[in-house]
């Protein structure tokens, strides 16, 4: 029996990992693999009525609510929202986080994105993937013997290059739990994201969110239909309603198809 996989997912803010990888995280955990999310900022500016320490604490509690639903570990770096930069100090933090977890696969944002925090995560993680193997970089934390594989979460940006999924994962069997997970982020889903709209009554929030998330992940499934057919076969691939995707990077260990099936043990 092979050792359980160790999956480490970096997001910029305390809901990014959930939105992009919550479903596959649950599927890995159901198979006995280890999953950790890291939000690289504390989210302390992501609201129109509250901020600073109170908002950071609130958003941390939201991550822990989500973590309990998905049965994962969820860490939040105490870096101000909007202040993440691809500098040497934050690169060192990222290298240490990767070395301490010793992942088989790391997933993060791409470095081309509308949000500076998202871009910073992409640069920091891809730079750290190499630094993890260099003994005299952050020498108090033992180096890795080889780089983990690196993948990128879904995005719709085409400048300078479009996102092309390497794998697409059927999330139909976990989508309801994923809605529950994202529902934990009340400060974002029902307040910050609706600051210019009419509020949703509390008793209607969950169903309102469910409808929007089902549409969002149905669009991702449609965009990745060819990739779903490749991995699941024509009949099932065309039947998938909701999906998440990962685009593999050249900067980490580049897996062949057999290794991809080991890293993503969801396919027939």
The domain spanning residue 30 has which CATH number? 3.40.50.10320
Q: Is the pLDDT of residue 1 over 80?
A: no
Domain count for the chain, please give it.
1
Exposure string (b/e) for 188-198, b if CB count within 10 Å is 16 or more? bbbbbeeeeee
Residue 127 corresponds to which tokens in the numbers above?
């730079």
pLDDT tens digits, 127-185: 999 999 999 999 999 999 999 999 999 999 999 999 999 999 999 999 999 999 999 99
| 42 occurs within a structural domain | yes
| 11 occurs within a structural domain | yes
| 68 occurs within a structural domain | yes
Dihedral of the alpha carbons of 138, 144, 148, 152, in degrees to the nearest 10: -10
| 222 occurs within a structural domain | no
| 186 occurs within a structural domain | no
Q: Which helix (H) or strand (E) holds 108?
A: strand 105-108
Query: Distance between CA 63 and CA 73 in Å, rounded?
Result: 9
User: Alpha carbon of 116 to those of 14, 80, 91, 122, 204: distances in Å?
Assistant: 15, 13, 16, 10, 33
pLDDT at position 125 = 98
| 164 occurs within a structural domain | yes
| 49 occurs within a structural domain | yes
Average pLDDT of span 222-246: 98
What is the strand order of the sheet 243-248 is part of? Answer: 73-76, 34-39, 6-11, 105-108, 149-153, 243-248, 167-170
pTM over cut 0.95: yes
Domain of residue 61, residue span: 6-170+244-263
pLDDT at position 219 = 98
pLDDT at position 220 = 98
Q: Is the pLDDT of residue 2 over 90?
A: no
Show Cβ contacts of residue 171 under 8 Å, excluding neighbours closer than 6 positions: 23, 24, 27, 178, 217, 242, 243, 244
| 221 occurs within a structural domain | no
Show Cβ contacts of residue 158 under 8 Å, excluding neighbours closer than 6 positions: none
């Amino acid at each position: 029996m092979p050792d359980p996989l160790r999956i480490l997912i970096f997001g910029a803010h305390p809901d990014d990992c959930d939105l992009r990888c919550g479903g596959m995280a649950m599927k890995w955990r159901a198979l006995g693999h280890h999953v950790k999310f890291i939000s690289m900022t504390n989210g302390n500016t992501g609201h129109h009525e509250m901020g600073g320490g109170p908002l950071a604490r609130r958003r941390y509690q939201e991550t822990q609510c989500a973590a309990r639903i998905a049965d994962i570990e969820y860490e939040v770096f105490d870096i101000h929202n909007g202040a993440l930069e691809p500098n040497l100090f934050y690169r060192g933090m990222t290298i240490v986080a990767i070395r301490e977890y010793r992942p088989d696969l790391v997933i993060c944002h791409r470095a081309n994105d509308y949000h500076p925090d998202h871009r910073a995560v992409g640069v920091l993680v891809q730079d750290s993937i190499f630094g993890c193997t260099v003994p005299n970089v952050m020498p108090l934390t033992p180096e890795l013997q080889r780089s983990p594989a690196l993948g990128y979460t879904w995005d719709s940006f085409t400048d300078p290059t479009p996102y092309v999924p390497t794998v697409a994962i059927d999330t139909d069997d976990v989508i309801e739990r994923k809605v529950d997970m994202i529902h934990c982020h009340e400060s974002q889903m029902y307040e910050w994201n609706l600051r210019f709209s009419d509020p949703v009554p509390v008793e209607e929030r969950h169903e309102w969110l469910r409808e929007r998330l089902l549409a969002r992940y149905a669009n991702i499934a449609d965009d990745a239909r060819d990739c779903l057919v490749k991995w699941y076969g024509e009949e099932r691939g065309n039947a998938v309603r909701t999906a998440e995707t990962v685009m593999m990077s050249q900067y980490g260990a580049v897996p062949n198809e057999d290794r991809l099936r080991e890293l993503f043990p969801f396919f027939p």
